[in-house]
Amino acid sequence: MTISPIPSLKKKQIYELAESGKRIDGRGLIDMRKIEINTNILDKAEGSASVKLGDTYVIAGVKFEISEPFPDIPDEGILSVTAEFLPLASPLFEAGPPDENAIELARVVDRALRGGKAINTKKLCLIPGKKVWTVWVDIFVFDHCGNLIDASALASLCALLTAKIPKTEVIGNEVKILDEYEPLPIESLPIIVTIAKIGDKLLVDPSLEEEEVMDCRISIAFVEGKDKQEHICAIQKGGRGSFSYEEILRAVEIAKVKSQEIRKIIPCGGK
């Protein structure tokens, strides 16, 4: 992926607008773009969801596979997140194995789900030390118009929420997969909110044009803990610039509010 050259005129414009609290697409600094979630859009995937975040368009699909557990956690199922930046999603993407941006995205989504204990992986153990469910979440980016992380995290969570996992019967060392299904043991809803720094302003949910000129960004995942409190469950700073302490604390506060707003619009009654 190469960086598209943005005319410095446009860069100047975005910075000046931000300075006066405005954005090139008319949003306020802490406004998200419109979010459209569709769940269960595919039959062959065990769970699926598409998310449109403005024009950013992402599909996540869930598949299951029986595999061996990791030796250090023999009694837990495995969550495995991948992301593909499809070449049709941007004139700058190329076909090929995931680059550092796709890998970073998948790993940040993975950490938010894992850190936020979204899935009770203990319930995905079939035979301790021998057989567990691996939950695959594959993220496909179809249109890259900025802020892929938030859109992908949301699509992944919604796909997991709609996923149906087959019931099983364990006889000795054999696992029999039944033709009955149940929902995944989802126990919390981690939401990532990404905030860009432009000059000394913080902009929520940066568009592609804003990402291309921003100083840097910070992605913060919040989850509601069992104590009904909001907890930070993942953070990732990205980009070439730096943040002051105050900016980071401010970003965390904004993300807390925004993540709660987003969580409310998740379909399936939040489950």
Residues 8-47 that bind another protein (CB under 8 A): 42-46
Q: Is 242 in the site for another protein (CB under 8 A)?
A: yes
From residue 72 to residue 91, the character string flagging contacts with another protein as x (rule: CB under 8 A) and all else as - is x---------x-x-xxxxxx
The CB-of-37 to another protein minimum distance in angstroms stands at: 16
Residue 210 sits in the site that holds another protein (CB under 8 A)? no
Query: Distance (Å, rounded) from C-alpha 189 to C-alpha 166?
Result: 22
Which of these ranges, 13-21, 25-33, 51-59, 169-177, lies near another protein under the rule CB under 8 A?
Answer: 51-59
Cβ contacts of 21 within 8 Å, gap of 6 or more: 28, 29, 201
For another protein, the closer of residues 23 and 238 by Cβ is: 238
| Other beta carbons within 10 Å of 72 | 6
Q: Does 206 bind another protein (CB under 8 A)?
A: no
Contact between 223 and another protein by CB under 8 A: the answer reads: yes
Q: Is 237 in the site for another protein (CB under 8 A)?
A: yes
Distances (CA, A) of 164 to 3, 188, 257, 266: 40, 17, 31, 17
152 lies in the site for another protein, by CB under 8 A: no
Whether the CA torsion 106, 195, 187, 63 is positive or negative: it is negative
Q: According to the binding rule CB under 8 A, does residue 68 interact with another protein?
A: no
Contact 185, 120 (CB under 8 A): yes
Q: Of residues 16, 36, 65, 68, which one binds another protein by CB under 8 A?
A: 65
CA neighbor of 64 nearest in space, from 153, 164, 131: 164
Three-class SS of residue 209? helix
Least separation in angstroms between residue 5's CB and another protein is: 9
Q: How far apart are CA 261 and CA 255, in angstroms?
A: 10
Contact with another protein (CB under 8 A): which of 17, 37, 62, 186? Answer: 62
Identify which of residues 157 and 234 has a Cβ nearer to another protein in the complex. 234
